[in-house]
């Protein structure tokens, strides 16, 4: 069989770094998605681009699926080998190749995690802003077009990848983009691979934009009587052009969960969590302006802190919110929704979600990157209760359809994988077929992460 032949050939040059050990297959068969275990046939640990290219050439010859793996934190099954094949784990390709402070960019291998990068950058006065919460690999973040809490100011991976090295489906190595800040030179291949979830090729090197560490940072929390009031404050803040670095919503249920998990004592009401970046005067000016907006919407307890330890506590709490919400209901599983709508429709989208949650009796704390119009409801249900799981799925689907009706998208930052495949035709119409044509052109053998993102195709 093709997959076994491919594994045998790849073993000849990867040796021990191609493994079929039970534990390795198991670890790489699950993810943070709600999909069941589906172990690959083997896991490869390449150390160089050449090894990746050689591996892909062999897989192409044998029709063996190739699935990229960063840290396994994707939420829609992107890294799972549903059809078997070889998972390529980039953990050993984790070198930062060159930091260029004068150009504010960095070239690195895909296995570098965002925390490792920022640790390394600390001495340079620069940082990489995209922050999805999880300590994901940068190759994975690029492949998912990830974003997170700071996208409202610094953009998503779409905006922060300058160029890539990619191993194509035929095992060729190409480079996209350049280190120039802009270019009108041909099709934007970088943008094509960012968000492609490994279905068109494997990213083996990235050049990323960096940002200067702001002179001053302050963070703040502010409580509101209702999600509607909080969102109204957000909309006004964005429309005024305040350059917020972070502006995050947590509803009462999320606040209750983090209070319990992190020993905080926030009032159990909807909160905005904020961060301001700029010069000293600038940050003070921003905080003051926000304070005025919040007051107009009956915001309470607005207070801003500049001490690093207070900031760290705040954002650690926010990053742990997902785990806090799960911990509040032992034995529960979560279906994490990921809508993004035009900011003017955000209150409507959240309120409709809350009404739907109330009516269906499903527990679903809401939090999100509201400055972008992006929010998540963490739909909780008992692992063994199939009816509850189905009800959560149905609610998730209603949420997506409402977001699309409001001019939004089914996924602001988690991607498609297999989990959101069912919404692609609805969201993109003929564009989804076009994505299939692009996939067919660049991966005619359908070996790169098959079964994800594009319309299903018979194996060739």
Tell the smallest beta-carbon distance from residue 269 to its own copies (Å): 26
Tell the smallest beta-carbon distance from residue 328 to its own copies (Å): 27
Q: Which is nearer to its own copies, 62 or 277 (CB)?
A: 277
Q: Which is nearer to its own copies, 83 or 372 (CB)?
A: 372
DSSP letters, 257-304, are: HHHHHHT----SS-EEEEEEEE-HHHHHHHHHHHHHHHHHTT-EEEEE
CA-to-CA dists, residue 421 to 33, 169, 341, angstroms: 14, 22, 19
Strand, coil or helix: 378: strand
> Closest Cα to residue 5, out of 42, 38, 39?
42
Strand, coil or helix: 132: coil
Tell the smallest beta-carbon distance from residue 144 to its own copies (Å): 6
- Residue 80 makes CB contacts below 8 A (sequence gap 6+) with 29, 30, 31, 33, 35, 38, 67, 417, 418
Tell the smallest beta-carbon distance from residue 64 to its own copies (Å): 22
Q: Which is nearer to its own copies, 255 or 420 (CB)?
A: 420
Is 75 within 8 Å of 336 (Cβ atoms)? yes
Tell the smallest beta-carbon distance from residue 295 to its own copies (Å): 19
Gap between the Cα atoms of 359 and 207, Å rounded? 48
Crossing angle, helix 386-405 and helix 346-360, to 10 degrees? 160
Tell the smallest beta-carbon distance from residue 279 to its own copies (Å): 7
Q: Which is nearer to its own copies, 24 or 372 (CB)?
A: 372
Q: Which is nearer to its own copies, 81 or 435 (CB)?
A: 435
Tell the smallest beta-carbon distance from residue 433 to its own copies (Å): 8
Q: Which is nearer to its own copies, 392 or 410 (CB)?
A: 410
Q: What is the DSSP-derived secondary structure letter of residue 214?
A: P
Burial of 21 (0-12, 13-18, 19+ CB in 10 A): exposed
Tell the smallest beta-carbon distance from residue 164 to its own copies (Å): 10
Tell the smallest beta-carbon distance from residue 80 to its own copies (Å): 17
Q: Which is nearer to its own copies, 209 or 314 (CB)?
A: 209
Gap between the Cα atoms of 182 and 191, Å rounded? 13
Gap between the Cα atoms of 33 and 335, Å rounded? 8
Gap between the Cα atoms of 129 and 460, Å rounded? 41
Q: Which is nearer to its own copies, 301 or 455 (CB)?
A: 455
Q: Regarding beta strands 246-250 and 66-69, do their DSSP bridges make them parallel or antiparallel, or are they unpaired?
A: unpaired
Q: Which is nearer to its own copies, 239 or 300 (CB)?
A: 239
């Amino acid at each position: 069989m093709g997959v076994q032949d491919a594994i045998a050939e790849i073993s000849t040059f990867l040796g021990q770094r191609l493994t079929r050990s039970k534990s390795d297959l198991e670890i790489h068969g699950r993810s943070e998605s709600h999909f069941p275990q589906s172990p690959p046939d083997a896991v490869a640990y390449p150390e160089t681009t050449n090894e990746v290219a050689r591996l892909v050439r062999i897989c192409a010859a044998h029709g063996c699926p190739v699935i990229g793996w960063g840290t396994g934190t994707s939420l829609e099954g992107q890294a799972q080998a549903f059809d078997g094949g070889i998972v390529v784990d980039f953990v050993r390709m984790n070198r930062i190749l060159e930091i260029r402070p004068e150009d504010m960019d960095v070239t690195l291998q895909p296995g570098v995690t965002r925390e490792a990068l920022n640790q390394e950058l600390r001495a340079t006065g620069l940082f990489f802003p995209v922050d999805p919460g999880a300590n994901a690999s940068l190759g994975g973040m690029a492949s998912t077009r990830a974003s997170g809490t700071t996208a409202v100011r610094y953009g998503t991976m779409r905006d922060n990848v300058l160029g890539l090295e990619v191993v194509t489906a035929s095992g060729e190595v190409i480079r996209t983009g350049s280190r120039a800040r802009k270019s009108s030179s041909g099709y934007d291949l970088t943008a094509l691979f960012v968000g492609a979830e490994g279905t068109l090729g494997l990213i083996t090197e990235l050049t990323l934009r960096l940002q200067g560490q702001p002179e001053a940072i302050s963070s703040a929390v502010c409580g509101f009587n209702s999600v509607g009031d909080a969102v109204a404050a957000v909309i006004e803040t964005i429309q005024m052009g305040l350059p917020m670095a972070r502006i995050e919503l947590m509803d009462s249920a999320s606040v209750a969960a983090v209070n319990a998990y992190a020993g905080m004592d926030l009032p159990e009401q909807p909160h905005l969590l904020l961060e301001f970046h700029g010069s000293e005067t600038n940050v003070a000016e921003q905080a003051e302006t926000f304070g005025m907006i919040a007051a107009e919407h009956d915001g309470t307890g607005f207070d801003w802190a500049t001490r690093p330890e207070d900031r760290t506590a705040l954002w650690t709490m926010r990053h742990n919110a997902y785990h806090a919400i799960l911990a509040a209901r032992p034995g529960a599983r979560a279906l994490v929704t990921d809508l993004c709508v035009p900011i003017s429709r955000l209150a409507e989208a959240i309120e409709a979600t809350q009404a739907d949650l109330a009516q269906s009796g499903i527990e679903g704390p809401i939090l999100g990157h509201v400055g972008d119009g992006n929010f998540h409801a963490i739909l909780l249900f008992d692992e063994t209760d199939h009816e509850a799981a189905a009800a959560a799925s149905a609610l998730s689907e209603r949420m997506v359809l409402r977001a699309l009706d409001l001019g939004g998208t089914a996924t602001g930052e988690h991607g498609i994988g297999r989990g959101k495949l069912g919404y692609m035709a609805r969201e993109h119409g003929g564009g989804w077929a076009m994505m299939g044509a692009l996939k067919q052109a660049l991966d005619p053998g359908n070996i790169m992460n098959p079964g994800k993102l594009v319309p299903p195709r018979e194996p060739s």
